[in-house]
Amino acid sequence: MGRSPNGKYGFHKTTHLAYVDNDNSWSDSWERWYAKALKRMLEEEERSHGPDDDLKLLTAAMFQKVVPRLLRPLETGGRQIEPCLIHSDLWPGNVKPDAVTDEPIIFDSCAFWGHNEADLGSWRAPRYRLGRPYMDQYHKNIPVSPPAEDWDDRNALYALRYDLLHSALFPKEPKFRKAAMDEMRRLVDKYPDGYEGFASSK
């Protein structure tokens, strides 16, 4: 939606995902911007649950291997994405019908200029009862960004930010941290060679 006023990723002011403030400082690179946002959520999750040695190892591998592997191809090899204004907290609780017109109203955004697919990260969670049918309908209007074969794991990477937030919100529920770590481990195991493995295969 729309065009970034300076062609960059970010926002002109701080926004919040639940109670977590987001560093929306501008970046020319989507990979760098998203890495910063993911790091912020990992910091908040650790503040809530405390440090964990396995999580530290997974975090390092995510930033060294997974984030570059899944996001750098969006802006290399002749590919590019345009920053668009996204809500970034789309879930059923933030969408209600207007009492008079019955038209849907979307509110409580954590807006920034980013990759449009990042808006679908929260839809992956089973707790919101969204998922593939909604994403398929979305992609009838807005095609998957190339490389299309990375779509599902990119979506998992975007969903991780919300999974970590969910864990941070419930410090007495270790199952949410475990779920986030399980997904991180899956991605780390799948992409041991990082972006270099992708680039060398092309």
Tens digit of pLDDT at every position of the chain (202 positions): 678 889 999 999 998 988 888 889 999 999 999 999 999 999 999 999 999 999 999 999 999 999 999 999 999 999 999 999 998 877 777 788 888 999 988 877 788 999 999 988 887 776 666 667 777 888 899 999 999 999 999 999 999 999 999 999 999 999 999 999 999 999 999 999 999 999 988 7
Q: Give the Cα separation of 84 and 196 in Å (integer).
A: 28
Is the entire prediction scored with pTM above 0.95? no
The secondary structure of 17-73, three-state, reads ECCEEECCCCECCHHHHHHHHHHHHHHHHHHHHCCCHHHHHHHHHHHHHHHHHHHHH
pLDDT for 122 equals 81
Q: Give burial (CB, 10 Å; 0-12/13-18/19+) of 179.
A: middle
Amino acid identity at 34: Y
* List of residues 6+ apart from 12 with CB closer than 8 A: 5, 24
Q: What are 145's two structure tokens?
A: 């960004």
Q: What are 63's two structure tokens?
A: 């930033």
Widest CA span of the chain, in angstroms?
57
